[in-house]
Amino acid sequence: MLSTTLGSLQLENPVMSASGTFGSGWEGRQFSDLGRVGALVSKTVTVRPRHGNPPPRIQETPSGMLNSIGLENKGADYFLAETLPRMRQLAAGAGGRPGPRVVINIGGESVDEFVALAERFSAAGVDALEVNLSCPNVQEGKLLFSTEPRLTERAVAAVKRAATVPVFAKLSPNVTDITVIAKAAEQGGADGLTAINTLIGMAVDWRRRRPVLGRGIGGLSGPAIRPVALRMVYEVARSVRIPVIGVGGARSADDVLDFVCAGASAVQVGTAMFTDPALMVHIVDDLRQRLTAAGTTIAELRGCLHRPPDAAAPAGCAPAAHAPTGHGGQA
Ligand SMILES: Cc1cc2nc3c(=O)[nH]c(=O)nc-3n(C[C@H](O)[C@H](O)[C@H](O)COP(=O)(O)O)c2cc1C
């Protein structure tokens, strides 16, 4: 009922952690049985250690938060020696259950760095790689891999050649048309797509005449972005043939099922775990209840959204079937 597939990767259920919001899962193990989630996704790992951005790095916003962590991490050597064994321990499974899949999110400042990481983590036997395309390509004027279809395709194709495990490309919402980038990643050979990363935002403290975050701008996440994420998952799922992992503001089983209905094969939970670190496991339990009550399965529900009659028309262009009287039908 809950099982799902991401290409060749089978998941016991569609609930995954979102990169960077739950560390490796190790600190969260005391709050719930993480052996029951579908997959654990690591924070982005880079070739060398990164100190990240100056503080403050986090600011709460209405229904969400801004972060500018700056991909702080201890680098691939440390991760392979210290963090991966812990993730494996969490994912070991118990009582005949296979346990969660271990997905490593990788970030590079060049195609060569992505390739080096893909080789090392494949050799380490992780279950899948998630390619964080929201990284600046230092060889091409720091243009983000995620904003240029050519760079996306090149990075994904190189990772695919180097990897021996499934490769998911994580897309940024900060583009004009996410389907162009989605198709480029598919063209590069991605086994699946993760949509979406955070939306660029800003908080200002007018009294200090300064931005609140140390770096000035940051990434917006949480329920505030869920409508955008749902729309993008819907658009991406309709434009490619590979599976889509939905992410952005999910905090309940109903949210997960909304993403599945819009076309997602699995759903990551991120910011919502800052307020309830046991949330993923609660969602798994609630999913089972919801699907039993509705007499359906994740596989059956996936992409079953009925297309609105005027979906092709830009917002506001739909003819008003019953124009309200009194103000000429103008909203
Ligand atoms: C504090 C924080 C750190 C994050 N770090 C990463 C990261 O290292 N790599 C990455 O691909 N995404 C990162 N993200 C983005 C999340 O994985 C996710 O795409 C985004 O937050 C939207 O999902 P959510 O609203 O459920 O949090 C981070 C998000 C937050 C809030």
pLDDT for the residue 250: 98
Q: Does residue 329 fall inside a structural domain?
A: no
Q: Does residue 313 fall inside a structural domain?
A: no
The total number of structural domains that make up the chain: 1
Q: Does residue 330 fall inside a structural domain?
A: no
Q: Does residue 328 fall inside a structural domain?
A: no
Q: Does residue 307 fall inside a structural domain?
A: no
Task: Reply yes or no on whether 135 is catalytic.
Answer: yes
Tell me the pLDDT tens digit for each residue of 8-41: 999 999 999 999 999 999 989 999 999 999 999 9
Phi/psi class of residue 172: alpha, beta or left (left: φ > 0; alpha: ψ in -120 to 50)? beta
Q: Is the CB of 21 under 6 A from ligand 1?
A: yes
Q: Does residue 11 fall inside a structural domain?
A: yes
pLDDT for the residue 137: 84
CA of 137 to the centre of ligand 1 (A): 20
Query: Which domain covers residue 132, as residue numbers?
Result: 4-301
Pairing mode, if any, of strands 64-67 and 217-221? antiparallel
Are 15 and 284 in contact by the 8 Å Cβ rule? The answer is yes
Are 93 and 11 in contact by the 8 Å Cβ rule? The answer is no
pLDDT for the residue 329: 37
CA–CA distance, 283 with 255 (Å, rounded to integer): 10
| Residues of the chain predicted below pLDDT 50 | 313-314, 316-331
Q: Is the CB of 43 under 6 A from ligand 1?
A: yes
CATH number at residue 131: 3.20.20.70
- The C-alpha torsion from 10 through 12 and 17 to 18, rounded to 10°, is 40
Other C-beta atoms within 10 Å of 241: how many?
A: 6
Q: Does residue 318 fall inside a structural domain?
A: no
Tell me the pLDDT tens digit for each residue of 126-173: 999 999 999 888 888 888 999 999 999 999 999 999 999 999 999 999
pLDDT for the residue 195: 98
Q: Is the CB of 149 under 6 A from ligand 1?
A: no
pLDDT for the residue 139: 83
SS3 for 298-318 is: HHHHCCCCCCCCCCCCCCCCC
Question: Which residue's C-alpha comes closest to atom 14 of ligand 1?
Answer: 20
Nearest ligand 1 atom, CA 251: 26
Q: Is the CB of 247 under 6 A from ligand 1?
A: yes
CA of 271 to the centre of ligand 1 (A): 7
CA of 106 to the centre of ligand 1 (A): 13
pLDDT for the residue 325: 36
Tell me the pLDDT tens digit for each residue of 60-75: 999 999 999 999 999 9
Give whole-number Cα distances, 101 to 43, 88, 126, 170, 263, in Å: 15, 9, 8, 17, 21
Q: Is the CB of 18 under 6 A from ligand 1?
A: yes
Q: Does residue 161 fall inside a structural domain?
A: yes
Backbone angles phi, psi at 264, to 5 degrees: -80, 145
CA–CA distance, 87 with 104 (Å, rounded to integer): 10
Pairing mode, if any, of strands 210-211 and 9-11? unpaired
Helix (H, G, I), strand (E, B) or coil at 199: strand
Question: Which residue's C-alpha comes closest to atom 10 of ligand 1?
Answer: 19
